[in-house]
Amino acid sequence: MLSSVKKYLKNTDKMLLISVLCLIFIGILLIASATHANIPGPRRYSFVVRQTVFAVINLALGTYLMRFDYRILKHLARPLYIFNLVMLLAVMFFGKSALGAQRWLQIGPISLQPSEFSKAIMIIAQAAFVERRLPKLGSFRSWLSVFGYVFVPFALVMRQPDLGTSLVFLAILLGIMVLCGFRIRYFLIMGGLGLASAPLVWRMLHEYQRNRIRVFLNPGLEPYGSGYHVIQSMIAIGSGLFFGRGLFGGTQSQLNFLPENHTDFIFAVAGEEFGFVGVTLILILYFIIIYRGISIAMHAADDFGTLLAVGIVSMFTFHILVNVGMTSGVMPVTGVPLPFMSYGVSSLTTNMLMVTLLLNIHAHPQKLRFM
């Protein structure tokens, strides 16, 4: 066991791993700060304990999974895709509802969100599906099967409804399309069709989703309703100034003005308590993860590895941009968690497994370079 750990550390992208571990540690500190004053009794640090335990479990699981070649996933892609559809259908019929959405499956004391694991499965499934069709992908028609492959789970997640996760599927697909040389004129045509269908899409949205868009355009429209989250988040970030109020010192989060402060709006807690300096450090750590992910994609041993890495980078990039954007008031609220920092067993597990996959791609033989 010790020798396998040493081999794992020797072949690991240490910059990527250290950045991820730093973000997890910062996230645990912020979860402790965000929840300790709002939960009475012995359960005060229950979120911290659970997040820490699953971080350790996932780190051990990742170390074990490094023993396997990532290319075996190519043969498991189809069964994983089918399993994904079964999970999403199970949520429709047996899922637990909360905050107006039916997204969770209750397994004993743990609530799992299958749509979070669905992101990882769709990265693997899309990579394998596209890799088999690479020689044929040229015309717009050749991409229709890929769009159909993504549309089925996309529609099931939208049915929950979970707009944020369904948009992640599209972000992963977009990254793969750019990588595979999808033509600019096709993007322009699809963009035009999207704009033309905007009124239809607007009518298909739930009322709370429409309110989020209205509030994004004018946060003061419902200051005690749909706009409350955004207004309190911007107040929290702004009050942190340059050096922040200090850990456990934020008023918006400690006095429970900031809703969902340990999950979707944890970046606002970071802004209030760590200030501009702390938030800049966090964003630098995320930049390192994206940069190393792109580098791993460029040097992967095969097309499947490149597609996997690009899918993972696309997912992380979308999560970071949307979460930071919505907490800062420059994007609509979509309920997308901040990777490695937001509380959530399903989200943390998915993100750590995807980092393990990046490390696995990096650890295996790379393409020969002659330039």
Top pLDDT among 219 and 247 is at 247
Whether 309 contacts 361, CB under 8 Å: yes
How many residues would you count in the chain? 371
Strands (E), the chain: 96-98, 101-107, 110-112
pLDDT at 266: 93
Of 33-47, 101-115, 133-147, 328-342, where does mean pLDDT reach its minimum? 101-115
Arithmetic mean of pLDDT, 172-177:
93
Maximum mean pLDDT: which of 7-11, 61-65, 213-217: 61-65
Q: What is the pLDDT of residue 193?
A: 80
Q: Is the peptide bond before 219 cis (omega within 30 degrees of 0)?
A: no
**Nearest one of 222, 215, 138, 135 to 177, comparing CA atoms:** 138
Mean pLDDT, residues 247-254 taken together: 82
pLDDT at 331: 83
pLDDT at res. 371: 30
**pLDDT of 369 above 50:** no
Alpha carbons 285 and 16: distance in angstroms, whole number: 9
Position 321 scores a pLDDT of 94
Q: Give the pLDDT score at 291.
A: 96
- Residue 211: what pLDDT? 74
Question: Is 90 exceeded by the pLDDT of residue 46?
Answer: no
pLDDT tier at 229, thresholds 50, 70, 90? confident
Please say if the pLDDT value at position 85 is more than 60: yes
Residue 263 has pLDDT above 80, yes or no: yes
Q: Which of 10-24, 200-214, 259-273 has the lowest mean pLDDT?
A: 200-214
Confidence of residue 289 (pLDDT cuts 50, 70, 90): very high
Q: Does residue 104 or residue 155 have the better pLDDT?
A: 155
- Tell me phi and psi for residue 226, to 5 degrees: -65, -25
pLDDT digits (tens, 9 = 90+) for 113-158: 788 889 999 999 999 999 998 888 888 888 999 999 999 999 888 8
Q: Report yes or no: 326 and 332 within 8 Å, Cβ to Cβ.
A: yes
Highest mean pLDDT among 73-87, 95-109, 128-142: 73-87
Mean pLDDT of the chain: 84
- Tell me what pLDDT residue 98 has: 56
Instruction: Assess whether pLDDT exceeds 90 at residue 188.
Output: no
Confidence of residue 301 (pLDDT cuts 50, 70, 90): confident
Tell me the pLDDT band of 368, cut-offs 50, 70 and 90: very low
Q: In the prediction, which pLDDT does 310 show?
A: 96
Closest CA to 279 of 317, 251, 241: 241
Segment of 43-47, 317-321, 344-348 carrying the highest mean pLDDT: 317-321
Kindly report the number of other CB atoms within 10 A of residue 97's CB atom: 10
The answer to whether the CB of 6 falls within 8 A of the CB of 357 is: no
DSSP class of 66:
T
